[in-house]
Amino acid sequence: MSLDLQVRNGLKAAALWLPLPPASKTGIFYDLYGEFLAVLSGDSGFRNIGLAAGGSSLAEAQAELCRETVRGLARPGRWLDIGCGEGGAACTLAVENPSVEICGLDLHDESVERARQLAGRHRVADRVHFRSGDACRMPFAGDGLFDGAYAVETACHYHDKRGFAAEVARVLEPGGRFACADFVLSGEDRMRPERAVIQWIQQSLGLPRMYTAEQWRGNLENAGFRELRVSDITAGTFACLPLWSERMDETRAELERRYPAPLVLSIYLNIRWLIEGLDAGQLRYALIEAELQPDPAGDSSPAGSQ
Ligand SMILES: C[S@@+](CC[C@H](N)C(=O)[O-])C[C@H]1O[C@@H](n2cnc3c(N)ncnc32)[C@H](O)[C@@H]1O
């Protein structure tokens, strides 16, 4: 039984190296690691790194990152949670903000299904809804549907970051606010040897090339956003890594049951790389906030492709 699981997970890990469409790779990645992340984070429904808020549990730190991300969004309001995962952010924020309605969007169907169940358990299913779909080609026919949109630790997965920014601009009301919390590269120097390590890790995680904060700034400005504010929250997020290490140690037996030994090693190396990447200053974590122009790009839809 456990051998079957190991073989299946080993094959999925190998598939991440194949030249498959990006959306399929993300699906495989969350099929592969989604359940393990659930083992680590418990049934809180959060899948982000967290923001340390003084002696908190991992789930509390993860909730704190979401609270910090939406601090500038309008209340009351209709919010879009982009890359909502298993719904921890949408459900927790809906409980804490009774005047908001939230629509969660995620590419991974199983996560969306779990998010719906979580909304039932939090008793917010009347105000929180979830949809399957790609953030770079959102499944919303109408424009200007939301007063605010946020994306917690998901945009690093997106291969079409320009398409994503255009889609956020399309579905936001003019003047609506967007906030994105994510890993960013610290600079553009791709010749340094550590960059090869970064590229290897990105490949093994099925991630495309990450943006720097400056690249995000340009991307959002091109899509019609203004008043951009970039806050470096690296210290607070990476302070949560010991909480992850603790949970990894506590769940080691489960990890070894699920994954072949080389993959377990690679998961540990990925966590170590995160810590070393931070220490070497290659990797940062940013909160990027922006407002959509009151009249975005005149009457031509920035999404174009929709
Ligand atoms: C690290 S998890 C973060 C989940 C959630 N935001 C949280 O804070 O717990 C990243 C999520 O982004 C989703 N995702 C990745 N690429 C996507 C895309 N192109 N469109 C929509 N969701 C995507 C994944 O399926 C996954 O659920």
Rounded CA gap, 31 and 53, in Å? 30
Contact, 154 vs 182, CB < 8 A?
Answer: yes
pTM for the structure as a whole: 0.89
Confidence of residue 42 (pLDDT cuts 50, 70, 90): confident
Contact, 286 vs 230, CB < 8 A?
Answer: yes
pLDDT > 90: percent of the chain: 55
Which of 26, 46, 109, 305 to mutate to test ligand 1, by most ligand atoms within 8 A of the CB atom?
Answer: 26
Rounded CA gap, 279 and 154, in Å? 23
State residue 167's pLDDT score. 98
C-beta neighbour count of 96 within 10 angstroms: 12
pLDDT at 202 over 70: no
φ/ψ (deg, to 5) at 231? -110, 130
Given strand 128-132, what is the order of strands in its sheet? Answer: 128-132, 100-106, 77-82, 146-152, 172-185, 283-292, 225-232
300 within domain boundaries? no
Q: Exposed, middle or buried: residue 30 (CB in 10 Å: 0-12, 13-18, 19+)? A: buried
Domain count, the chain: 1
297 within domain boundaries? no
Averaged confidence pLDDT in the chain: 86
301 within domain boundaries? no
Rounded to the nearest whole angstrom, what is the distance from the C-alpha of residue 27 to the centroid of ligand 1? 10
State residue 248's pLDDT score. 81
Q: Which of residues 196 and 48 earns the better pLDDT score?
A: 48
pLDDT > 70: percent of the chain: 86
Cα distances (Å, whole numbers) of residue 146 to 84, 97, 104, 127, 173: 15, 16, 12, 14, 6
The tokens for 281 are 């200053």
30 within domain boundaries? yes
Q: Where residue 209 sits, what CATH number does that domain have?
A: 3.40.50.150
Rounded to the nearest whole angstrom, what is the distance from the C-alpha of residue 253 to the centroid of ligand 1? 26
Residues in contact with ligand 1 by the CB-under-6-Å rule are: 26, 30, 46-48, 83-85, 88-89, 105-108, 111, 134-136, 152-154, 157-158
Cα distances (Å, whole numbers) of residue 164 to 200, 257, 268, 278: 24, 37, 31, 27
Domain membership of residue 166 as a residue range: 2-292
299 within domain boundaries? no
Determine the Cα angle at 108 with ends 47 and 88, to 5°.
35
- Residue with the smallest CA separation from ligand 1 atom 17 is 107
Confidence of residue 236 (pLDDT cuts 50, 70, 90): very high
Q: What one-character-per-residue DSSP string does 63-108 give? A: HHHHHHHTTTS-SSEEEEEET-TTSHHHHHHHHH-TTEEEEEEES-
Contact, 236 vs 49, CB < 8 A?
Answer: no
State residue 306's pLDDT score. 31
Question: Which atom of ligand 1 lies closest to the CA of 134?
Answer: 20
- Which 8-state DSSP code applies to residue 181? E
302 within domain boundaries? no
224 within domain boundaries? yes
14 within domain boundaries? yes
Tens digits of per-residue pLDDT, 117-134? 999 999 999 999 999 999
